[in-house]
Amino acid sequence: MKTVVLVEDHALTRAGLRTALDSAGDLQVVAEAGDGPSGLAAILEHRPDVAVIDIGLPGIDGIELTRRVRIEAPATRVAILTVHDLESEILASLAAGADAYSLKTSPPERIVAAIRTAAEGGAYFDSHIAHVAMSRIAARGPALSEDSPLTPRETEILRMIANGRGNAEIASALFIGLGTVKGHIRDILEKLAANDRTQAAVAALRRGLI
């Protein structure tokens, strides 16, 4: 059973989330809060597996709360839930250290999946959020962080993935074999602890690697 703290300023939304999580069977809500300061206090008291945080919180907004959680309760994962799909907020949440990001308008089963994935140590971003993040990666320049675990070729391939290119297209563009491309992608996923291409691209963006 994974423990959850809900930080959401709308009581009805909070109640709906609790009902959905209680129905999941493997997620237990141990505390709730309606503002940022109370949310931080609850998280520090209970040290849950995952904190579910709304961006538009009074007192301390969700992005700043995420930063504080990463510093003061680093074992707690963070799942952002919001009605907003603004690129600036999405990227700020990723930079702050969010492990999952889902819109409140998503079906309940997807929201529960996002929270569960974060609680289990994974990363979850619904398709629209992933598209925004990958579009930003594709638009960035070719600079490579000195601390990056990726090689220049791996970074190039990840950027091509962000542009929507398939393995065969990447192989053709780089004049390398399809097996070589698959090997590079396997290495990228391993280095970034990602399960798929989207997770790898978002992880690289959040860490400032590309």
CA-nearest of 2, 34, 1 to 15 is: 34
What confidence score (pLDDT) does residue 39 get?
96
pLDDT score for 137: 59
pLDDT at residue 130, as a whole number: 67
| Domain 132-206 in this protein, CATH class | mainly alpha
CATH match for 2-125 among 3.40.50.2300, 1.10.3720.10, 3.40.50.150, 3.40.50.300: 3.40.50.2300
Q: Do domains 2-125 and 132-206 have the same CATH topology?
A: no
| Per-residue confidence (pLDDT) for residue 106, from 0 to 100 | 86
Residue-range domain boundaries for the chain: 2-125, 132-206
Can you list the residues of the chain whose pLDDT is less than 70? 85, 127-147, 162-164, 206, 208, 210
d(CA 110, CA 141): 33
pTM attached to this predicted model: 0.71
| pLDDT confidence of residue 120 | 87
Measured CA to CA in angstroms, residue 34 lies from 7, 9, 116 at distances of 6, 4, 21
- How many helices and strands (H and E) does the chain possess? 10, 6
